[in-house]
Chain A
């Protein structure tokens, strides 16, 4: 009899767990559905290809798309070499010394710094101290600092996936450490490092707080001429349209359209990275 009650209770608990899990799935599904459904009706070629008018109440969001892409490229250009280089050091050179511990502590700390604090930091150092002003350069550098830990962690994981035997064989043939890395580690881990990093950078593309203080322009219906120019950016543009705009209640389609484009950009980057990774995982098997 005891087992019987136990079984009923077990079944109920299992059911409850499943319900909670799928409730979360449903909520996520609804968020995506809401943004996609409302955003899709606002989307058209003119919306993504033309300049905004009336403070963004009309026209398109072309400069914001371009601005975000510039920021993504700038962030990649700074953070990828630095992050991959750091990961190579940690995976291939560092032993359990104090220097290594310090670096790991720094990475963990950096990963926990709130994005708005990165914004303050970027404002203090890049915008004011370095004198870059609010610019693509200052924004990219700020975002790069923010994604650095993600890139290092992803890259290190990819490096550690390369079998130890390759390293031994390479060194035993008389390769120097760097030759070993260049010829026998990087070719097999680079794709993993880059895709892992893009996942992190995709998230940075959707961040608002760090660019709020370092780069984003409220309304700037032209394209930047240099890295010292300010740009509009999708996340900030959405924030402005949704909360700061005098006509906020009447331009819902504009807002949804912007949200959808931003979502597509971020998820697209992530999805692309995941697909590339699967492709390369199939290519290199050992």
Chain B
């Protein structure tokens, strides 16, 4: 599966769940991504790093087709998840997004109760049984390591939680739909150091069951939480490798300049 020439430091038996090949992305006439080819391994954490505006978030949002909501945007090339092209006309975006959950930079709980926030996804997908819903909610909150903090106030408004709690709630909400892949768009950039640490610990726990793709412009964070790292620069993928390799001995000069803080 893994092309050794491109990914010399990936274990050969690594299962790849997302395959992007020659992806271009356009906002109207402006091209934001150029010829991105990238493999993302299952049940590992892949970090996308690079200076702001490098296209890492845009690429992330291509993976669950959130970019569809931007008028006049266009994707070329192929992105497959589990060998299935997700940009064919008959792709069911609803099904895709059930498979591929997303956590945003700014925590965005709905102004509903904690319970209703987590139950939102399952309800939309047709789950009506209150017992089953309660189960899903508890399970998801536990997975997101926030259950103990909120179990006594499930029916309180989620807006009353602290920033870090809100973000973990959003993770629980994404998990409740039962995705296999979790996309995280700078999930800790708006949080204090302590909350950031909790999110990073959580990512460490989730990686055993989920494929995680995380965008971050905090290089220490990428080094701490990820197994593989892809470096983006000006809309192009410069280099992708095992995280320790990227941070100690990158192949490309641009990567090295960025890692050592010469720009970005």
- Binding between chains A and B: yes
A169 with B110: CB separation less than 8 A: yes
The contact size tier of chain A is 20 to 34
Q: B159: CB under 8 A from chain A?
A: yes
Q: A33: CB under 8 A from chain B?
A: no
A183 with B124: CB separation less than 8 A: yes
A171 with B66: CB separation less than 8 A: yes
A138 to B104, CA, bound (A): 51
Q: B213: CB under 8 A from chain A?
A: no
Closest to B70 in A: A95
Q: Which of B88-110 contact A (CB under 8 A)?
A: 94-98, 101-102, 104, 106, 108-110
Rounded to whole Å, the gap between the CB of B139 and the closest CB of chain A is 16
B 65-84 binary contact with A (CB < 8 Å = 1; else 0): 01001011000000000000
Residue from A96, A171, A188 in contact with B69 in the complex, judged by beta carbons closer than 8 Å: A171
Residue from A166, A167, A172 in contact with B102 in the complex, judged by beta carbons closer than 8 Å: A172
Residue from B72, B106, B111, B121 in contact with A173 in the complex, judged by beta carbons closer than 8 Å: B121
Rounded to whole Å, the gap between the CB of A97 and the closest CB of chain B is 8
Q: Which of A170-194 contact B (CB under 8 A)?
A: 170-176, 179, 183-184, 188
Closest to B125 in A: A174
* CB neighbours of B109 from chain A (8 A): 169
B108 with A163: CB separation less than 8 A: yes
> Which of B66, B69, B170: most chain A CB closer than 10 A?
B69
* CB neighbours of B141 from chain A (8 A): none
A179 with B124: CB separation less than 8 A: yes
B residues with CB within 8 A of A: 64, 66, 69, 71-72, 94-98, 101-102, 104, 106, 108-111, 120-121, 124-125, 159, 170, 173-174, 177
A–B Cβ pairs within 8 angstroms, 19 of them: A96-B72, A165-B104, A165-B108, A168-B66, A168-B104, A169-B109, A169-B173, A172-B66, A172-B101, A172-B104, A172-B174, A173-B101, A173-B173, A173-B177, A174-B98, A174-B124, A175-B94, A176-B94, A183-B124
